[in-house]
Amino acid sequence: MPLTTPRLTQDSLGRAVRELAARDPDLAAIVGRFGPPPLWDRPEGFGTLTHIVLEQQVSLASAQAAFDRLGAAANPLTPARFLELDDAQLLAIGFSRQKAGYVRELAQVVDSGAIDLAALADMPDDEVQRTLVGLKGIGPWSASIYLLEALLRPDVWPVGDLALVVAVAEAKGLATRPDAVRMEALAEPWRPWRSVAARLFWHNYLCRRGKNLPGQLADAAGPEVAAG
């Protein structure tokens, strides 16, 4: 049966921001100071998963630069076209050997039909998470970011994202960065809009650091990330 959970849109994002601000004074303060966050959506499919792999454990700026070079070398970026690139080309683009191996394996399973990325849109969150984490090089953080940004699921909370952890600690005035258990507990009151809460915290993180100008925000994963 097709999934019935609605995707986030600009309209539902706005409604969720208002609802969260009414529930939580710290989120209300973010909205009051910086306004609502962007939707930060990405297209579904192989290209976005490749981009997310590039973002693992590096800055978004360096990942974006590598992804731009990949787009120039493989246009259009498809699994088959990616598989035509050799190790030397991928290293020159900015892939580590490990990430080149991860994306090559991803390209192989998508190109062969062993996994249908389009079918993820009709799966519940936990099934998408299990499917993606079953792929080499795609860990919980990468799967969560894909759910949150490409599939636009409204209630995803990527506890492994370092920028989100730092942003929550800052906004909540915590003396130490919360661990995964505390991050989960802190987010309980924001259900069923934890994806929107994450966007608000990232928005606060970036705006406080002067990165809120047009063209500076490649996506919502934050300038610091944890493992894939």
pLDDT in tens, 138-161: 999 999 999 999 999 999 999 999
Residue 202 makes CB contacts below 8 A (sequence gap 6+) with 37, 40, 163, 164, 167, 220, 221, 222
pLDDT in tens, 10-36: 999 999 999 999 999 999 999 999 999
Of the candidates 69, 121, 122, which has an alpha carbon nearest to the alpha carbon of residue 91? 69
For the beta carbon of residue 23, count every other beta carbon within 10 angstroms: 13
Task: Read off the pTM.
Answer: 0.91
Domain with CATH 1.10.1670.40 in the chain: 10-41+155-208
Domain with CATH 1.10.340.30 in the chain: 46-150
Residue range 10-41+155-208, CATH number: 1.10.1670.40
Alpha carbon distances (Å) from 75 to 29, 47, 117, 140, 192: 43, 11, 20, 29, 38
Of all residues in the chain, the percent with pLDDT exceeding 70 is: 91
Length of the chain in terms of residues written: 228
The CATH homologous superfamily to which domain 46-150 belongs is Hypothetical protein; domain 2 (1.10.340.30)
